[in-house]
Amino acid sequence: MPDSKIRVLFICMGNICRSPAAEAVFLRLIADRGIAATFHVDSAGTGGWHAGEPADHRSRGEGARRGYDLSTAARQVHDGDWEAFDLLVCMDRDNASLLLDRGAPEKKVRLLLDWHPDPAHAEVPDPYYGGEDGFVHMYDLIEAACGRLVDELEADGPKA
């Protein structure tokens, strides 16, 4: 019997700031709604230099303040992810372009902030080289968008 779970992969550059935060937010939302069993969720980076490392301490810190568990280890996205996941949810256009250049199906590649209620927000800025306030802003954007993403997937399934 085929796996009927909705499979969502969150993607940023190094998989230590934005995508593990989005994964954690999404996981808690689906757990709170009692629908976690219908999903398979993961995160990855387009670059592999942080593979095996924990999330950035600032992302873990802000996540912990908000009640999220960021205990996963970073991994690099690979070509098999194109088939394994229904949605490849990128934090910014650069990472989406990298996936498309590597052959990911365009219909599966989306930007997380496509689900943000304010269309003025197009990308989740990378907070890596900034201060703590960048991580606060990052989580604010991710929480707003993930809530709407879960709403859509719960109602209609993936639109890929």
133: tokens are 């306030």
Give the start-to-end residue ranges of the domains of the chain.
Answer: 17-156
| pLDDT reported for residue 147 | 96
List Cβ neighbours of 25 (8 Å cut-off, separation of 6 or more): 68, 139, 142, 143, 146
139: tokens are 């989580």
| pLDDT reported for residue 33 | 96
110: tokens are 């989306």
Residue 149's nearest CA partner among 27, 3, 52, 61 is 27
pLDDT per residue, tens digit, the chain (160 aa), is 456 899 999 999 999 999 999 999 999 999 999 999 999 999 999 998 999 999 999 999 999 999 999 999 999 999 999 999 999 999 999 999 999 999 999 999 999 999 999 999 999 999 999 888 999 999 999 999 999 999 999 988 666 5
Superfamily of domain 17-156: Response regulator (3.40.50.2300)
| pLDDT reported for residue 4 | 86
| pLDDT reported for residue 159 | 60
Residues with active-site annotation: 12, 18, 126
Asked if 55 contacts 18 with a C-beta cutoff of 8 angstroms, the reply is no
Q: What is the pTM of this model?
A: 0.95
E strands, 46-137, are 87-90, 109-111
The amino acid that residue 94 corresponds to is D
E strands, the chain, are 6-12, 39-45, 87-90, 109-111
